[in-house]
Amino acid sequence: MDQKLKIRTKTAIVFGATVLALVLSGNVTAMIFVALVAILAGTEFANINKLQDIRWHSYFIVAALMALVFYAFKTQYSPGAYIILLALCCLFNLFLLVTIYLNNQNLTWHSRYLFFYMIIPAVLFLFYLINNPIESFSMNILLIILLLIWSNDSFAYLIGSKIGKYKLFERVSPNKTWEGFIGGAIGTLLVAIILAKFSNFDLKTMILLALICSIFGTYGDLYQSSVKREFGLKDSGNILPGHGGFWDRFDSFIYVWPFVLMVLYLNSITQIN
């Protein structure tokens, strides 16, 4: 085993164990995990954009606004405000998806608003965890999302590397293929069906979550790749030896947050009715 592979393996083991420990140790550590992902990935993106002289005061304003939103939700729950913010986050992410199809795009013009893609969904996810605490394995939505995304990545890589022929988006990510994309989606659906047997979420909800993690998770990765390509970078950071940055590892995870929360919100309404 060469030195680089050893470093990657050691990092993967330590990092994976840490993530699982945070997600499985209770609601407080799960909330810490969500906050860390948003803060560290957001910091990496801000550092990337520092090369383009982005005005830092805009980030402080957004952070202050999000703190006020979180405080307001915590003290007095407003379903209307919650669903409006959630819908805006979903629409904004769909807009980001469209940008990767624009040829010769310059991502700098909307990069200053990227905290609407990272910070607001994180605040809404924290609010969800406050009102729906993780009290058992069967209720652990974070673990479910991570397992579905990891499954999609693994199946997509295995199928794509074996039979991949038709490029999914060669300009942004030359190694991704339609065969890998479809294989990842099928594999993720199979994992979701298995997880449904051990989860408090019904089969229909698990299938929706699987489709979200597969489709939007892939596009979250493509969007991050397009940003790095715009700035001529291979990795978003170097905090994880052999694996790049935090945003590299959680690009799909962050991108699916608002869509997952929307499914959970609509599911809760259905159960109430």
How far apart (Å, rounded) are the C-alpha atoms in residues 259 and 212? 7
pLDDT-derived band at 53 (thresholds 50, 70, 90) equals very low
Q: Is residue 115 very low, low, confident or very high in pLDDT (cuts 50, 70, 90)?
A: low
Say what the pLDDT of residue 164 is. 86
Calpha distance 136→113 (Å, rounded): 36
What's the pLDDT at 180? 94
- The Cα–Cα gap between 201 and 12 comes to 29
Q: Can you say how many angstroms the Cα of residue 219 is from the centroid of all Cα atoms in its chain? A: 10
DSSP class of residue 168 equals: E
Which stretch of DSSP H or E encloses residue 177?
Answer: strand 173-177
CA-closest candidate to residue 171, choices 109, 226, 237: 226
Return the pLDDT at 271.
Answer: 63
Output the pTM of the full model.
Answer: 0.86
Q: CA dihedral in degrees (63, 64, 66, 72; nearest 10)?
A: 160
> Would you list the domain boundaries of the chain?
3-272
Question: 173-177 and 167-169: which strand pairing?
Answer: antiparallel
Q: Which two tokens stand for residue 256?
A: 């699916």
- Whether the predicted pLDDT of 126 surpasses 60: yes
* pLDDT (0 to 100) of residue 49: 67
Q: Give the separation between CA 26 and CA 133, rounded to whole angstroms.
A: 8
Are 85 and 127 in contact by the 8 Å Cβ rule? The answer is no
Closest C-alpha among 15, 46, 216, 184 to residue 119? 46
**Closest by CA position to 262, among listed 71, 82, 140, 141:** 82
- In this structure, are residues 125 and 145 in contact, taking their beta carbons and an 8 Å threshold? no
Beta bridge partners of 225: none
pLDDT(62) > 50: yes
> Residue 100 corresponds to which amino acid?
I
pLDDT digits (tens, 9 = 90+) for 226-262: 888 877 888 877 777 666 788 888 999 999 999 999 9
91, burial (CB in 10 Å: exposed 0-12, middle 13-18, buried 19+): exposed
Cα-flanking dihedrals φ and ψ of residue 199, to 5°?
Answer: -115, 160
Rounded to whole angstroms, how far apart are CA atoms 259 and 271?
18
